[in-house]
Amino acid sequence: MQQALIEKYGEARLPRYTSYPTAPAFAPVVGAGTYGDWLSNIKPGTEASLYLHIPFCRSMCWYCGCHTTITQKDAPILDYLDMLRQEIGLVSDRVENRIKMKHIHFGGGTPTIMQPEEFRDLIGLLRARFGLVAGAEIAVEIDPRTLTAEMAAALGEAGVTRASLGVQSFDPVVQKAINRIQSEAQTAEAVTRLRAAGVGGINFDLIYGLPHQTVQSCIDTAKAAVAMRPERFAVFGYAHIPSFKKHQRLIDERALPDAAARAAQAEAIAETLVAAGYVRIGLDHYALPSDDLAIAAKRGRLRRNFQGYTTDTCETLIGFGASSIGRTPDGYVQNEVPPGLYAQRIASGRLATVKGYRLTAEDRLRAEIIERLMCNFRADITTIAARHGFDAAPLLDGNARLAALADDGAVDISGGTVTVRQDHRFIIRAVAAAFDAYIDQSARTHSKAA
């Protein structure tokens, strides 16, 4: 049965539901003008999250699905940081003193491509423009291959609480096939430097489904990784979309594992991490039981946002930089993606928003159902619908996708509650899709669900 379900649902192109509606539903009707209005609607005393995108790396990993560009020079990075500072000014002029920062996330690309003093200045500017809540989280994505001792120390001094390291795979055959050579020793040294600098929460990103990856290779990587004792893991299935990311054409498609092999690899990594004391969280995260994410999951308080699973409860997320996505209580916004176009906008004194989405009451209802499914593998549709002033019946009855999942034994529906069995967690994107009103317009653009 399990095998049949993997074959039927595992290969479907479905969103990862880091938002609802998902990014393909964003449209140019929401631009800089609307975003400006939405920023002025933010209420005084709002606790907000900030995301800052740094779209530069020193070399290209062929699997990469992130918005980044390769540069060996420092000038483009310095120019970009200038624009980022200007954008922080433009936004803070509109928000005035109405927000306090609860979470700051530096993503990329590779944020640690900045010089230590540039990072310190950026944090200083944010602190000056927006107040910081006591106990706020500051998280930074890190490439262990290029993290210097000076940068690690600067992160600690600036108050960084979490570091997310790209690890992906320790298998030399896989590393060659993805153009990312990174030794275990390099990774361990980055962890040591971060811990010495006082950065307490460390996350490793791993990927399965890469070219030449096998179950054994995944187990070996997971074992080497757990020996370094990061607090968390995020384990992603390789999303191969060469039409969207041209450099993925450098990946040998004949060496890619099929759906059944991908599922076996995901399960082997899960078992290795669980055996080493990590708790499974949601679709693709793992954490030590003492970690905040594991505690939130246990209490049913897990959340999902653009960074994946999180403890962040803020309704307002302000995105800075090329391609950044933000949200306010009114809806979603996304900045211009190519760094050059983003820079042109900011240099002319305008917000860089090029698309977005204004949330309706029904979207908010569906968003909550999908978030609960993605986080808890269960959603009480009747209760959630009632809270939003909707009737649950139209969501459950005549729902062909949901009926098919129930017929296949993948979900249980009783008393208006939809539950996904723990051994069917790989199917969760298909269950979420059953509550996505836009799925048939967006399904084609998304990656394999397994």
Ligand X SMILES: C=Cc1c2[nH]c(c1C)Cc1[nH]c(c(CCC(=O)O)c1C)Cc1[nH]c(c(C)c1CCC(=O)O)Cc1[nH]c(c(C)c1C=C)C2
Ligand Y SMILES: C[C@H]1O[C@@H](n2cnc3c(N)ncnc32)[C@H](O)[C@@H]1O
Per CB under 6 A, residues contacting ligand SF4 are 57, 60-61, 64, 66, 68, 108-110, 143, 166
- With respect to ligand MET, which residue has the nearer C-beta, 141 or 231? 141
Whether 116 and 149 have beta carbons less than 8 Å apart is answered as no
Which letter, b or e, does each residue of 121-155 get, where b requires 16 or more Cβ atoms within 10 Å of its Cβ? Answer: ebbeebeebbeeeeebbbbbbbbbbebeeebbbbb
Q: From residue 74, how far is each of 118, 145, 343 by CA, in Å? A: 12, 18, 16
Q: Give the amino acid at 225.
A: A
Contact between 205 and ligand Y (CB under 6 A)? Answer: yes
SS3 at position 154: helix
- With respect to ligand MET, which residue has the nearer C-beta, 182 or 265? 182
> Which two structure tokens, joined as six digits, stand for 96?
């005035």
- With respect to ligand MET, which residue has the nearer C-beta, 98 or 232? 232
**Alpha-carbon dihedral angle through residues 95, 101, 103, 104, given to the nearest 10 degrees:** 70
- Label residue 36 exposed, middle or buried (CB < 10 Å: 0-12, 13-18, 19+): middle
What is the tally of helices (H) and strands (E) in the chain? Answer: 17, 19
Residue from the set 10, 156, 166, 321 that interacts with ligand Y by CB under 6 A: 166
Contact between 143 and ligand MET (CB under 6 A)? Answer: yes
Contact between 141 and ligand MET (CB under 6 A)? Answer: yes
Q: From residue 137, how far is each of 42, 50, 140 by CA, in Å? A: 21, 10, 10
- With respect to ligand X, which residue has the nearer C-beta, 342 or 384? 342
Contact between 309 and ligand Y (CB under 6 A)? Answer: no
Contact between 241 and ligand X (CB under 6 A)? Answer: yes
* Residue range at the interface with ligand X (CB under 6 A); choices 217-225, 233-241, 353-361, 427-435: 233-241
Q: Give the amino acid at 16.
A: R
Contact between 145 and ligand X (CB under 6 A)? Answer: no
Residue from the set 21, 116, 156, 166 that interacts with ligand MET by CB under 6 A: 166
Residue from the set 168, 169, 265, 316 that interacts with ligand Y by CB under 6 A: 168
Choose from ligand MET, ligand X, ligand Y, none: what does 260 bind? Cβ within 5-8 Å by kind.
Answer: none
Contact between 209 and ligand X (CB under 6 A)? Answer: no
- With respect to ligand Y, which residue has the nearer C-beta, 110 or 442? 110
Contact between 306 and ligand Y (CB under 6 A)? Answer: no
Q: H helices within 64-148, ranges in order? A: 75-95, 116-129
Distance CA 417, CA 129 (A): 45
Region 205-264 residues binding ligand MET, contact defined as CB under 6 A: 205
Choose from ligand SF4, ligand Y, ligand X, none: what does 446 bind? Cβ within 5-8 Å by kind.
Answer: ligand X
The dihedral sign for the CA sequence 403, 442, 315, 430: positive
Determine which helix (DSSP H) or strand (DSSP E) holds 6, and give its type and residue range: helix 2-9
- With respect to ligand Y, which residue has the nearer C-beta, 65 or 200? 65
* Residue range at the interface with ligand X (CB under 6 A); choices 64-72, 82-90, 297-305, 423-431: 64-72
Task: List contacts with ligand X (CB under 6 A).
Answer: 15-16, 23, 65-67, 107, 236, 239, 241, 244, 323, 325, 337, 445-447
Task: List contacts with ligand Y (CB under 6 A).
Answer: 63-66, 166, 168, 205, 207, 236, 238-239
